[in-house]
Each structure stands twice: as C-alpha cells, then as structure tokens.
C-alpha cells in the first residue's frame, strides 16, 4: 500500500485474530517507484511459502503497488498469483480465517473481493431511526 498503511492494516487484523503466519507487508514511500516495489516484493516472496499461491492485497487499482504486483503476477511461472485492490480490515480478517479452512486459492480470491465490498457501508441517522 501507499505509505505504511499495509503494516497498520496487518497489525489491526492481528489484534483481532492473533499473529498470522506466512504473510508480509510492503511499505511504499515518496521517491520510490515500481521497480523499487518489485524488488521489495521479490525479497519478501523469497522468504515465504508460495506453493499454494500468492495473493497481493493492495490499496488502489492502478497505483504503484498494484502495478508492481501485477508485473510479478504476469511474469510468474507459478499458478495462483493474483492481485486484489481495495484492501480493508474485513477483507483481511475473512481471508485469514478462510485460509485455515484449506479452501482452493480461487475461493480465497472470491472471498477477498466479496468481503472487501461488503465491508464498505454507510450508516445514516435515517437508517438508525428505522432500526430502533
């Protein structure tokens, strides 16, 4: 993600669910570029178990973190490398819980997208009075 949001999102998810294994985050700061991110991603991937796949969760579609992850996905000789944008806490917590269920990789991708969308809501005073 841009800035240090990735680290903080992971810390928040771990506050809810406990420490997670085989997960990494990458910060992206001003002055860095897509090549820098590719180097950072590649270094992290070297120390991870990628046999069941790699799911890159990024903040914005088309941003530098997305573009760098997309290049890795497109150049990978591995199956099951994907990028999902719009990362949020509901998405992270659901994925972390679901991966313990030994789901197929594509099912995790689907959960990421659906939960990420479902986790974005608006609460208005009008809705509050309807439910009270």
Is residue 81 a contact partner of residue 110, using CB atoms and an 8 Å limit? no
86 burial type by CB count under 10 A (0-12 exposed, 13-18 middle, 19+ buried): middle
Q: Active-site residue among 2, 44, 71, 110?
A: 2
Task: State yes or no: is 2 an active-site residue.
Answer: yes
Distance CA 101, CA 9 (A): 22
Active-site positions?
2
């Amino acid at each position: 993600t841009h800035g240090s949001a990735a680290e903080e999102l992971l810390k928040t998810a771990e506050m809810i669910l406990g420490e997670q294994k085989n997960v990494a985050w990458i910060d992206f700061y001003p002055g860095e570029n897509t090549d820098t991110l590719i180097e950072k991603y590649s270094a992290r991937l070297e120390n991870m178990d990628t046999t069941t796949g790699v799911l890159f969760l990024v903040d914005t579609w088309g941003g530098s973190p997305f573009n760098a992850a997309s290049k890795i996905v497109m150049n990978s000789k591995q199956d099951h490398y994907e990028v999902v944008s719009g990362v949020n806490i509901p998405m992270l917590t659901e994925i972390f819980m679901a991966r313990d269920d030994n789901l197929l990789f594509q099912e995790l991708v689907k959960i990421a997208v659906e939960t990420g969308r479902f986790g974005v809501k608006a609460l208005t005073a009008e809705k509050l009075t309807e439910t009270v």
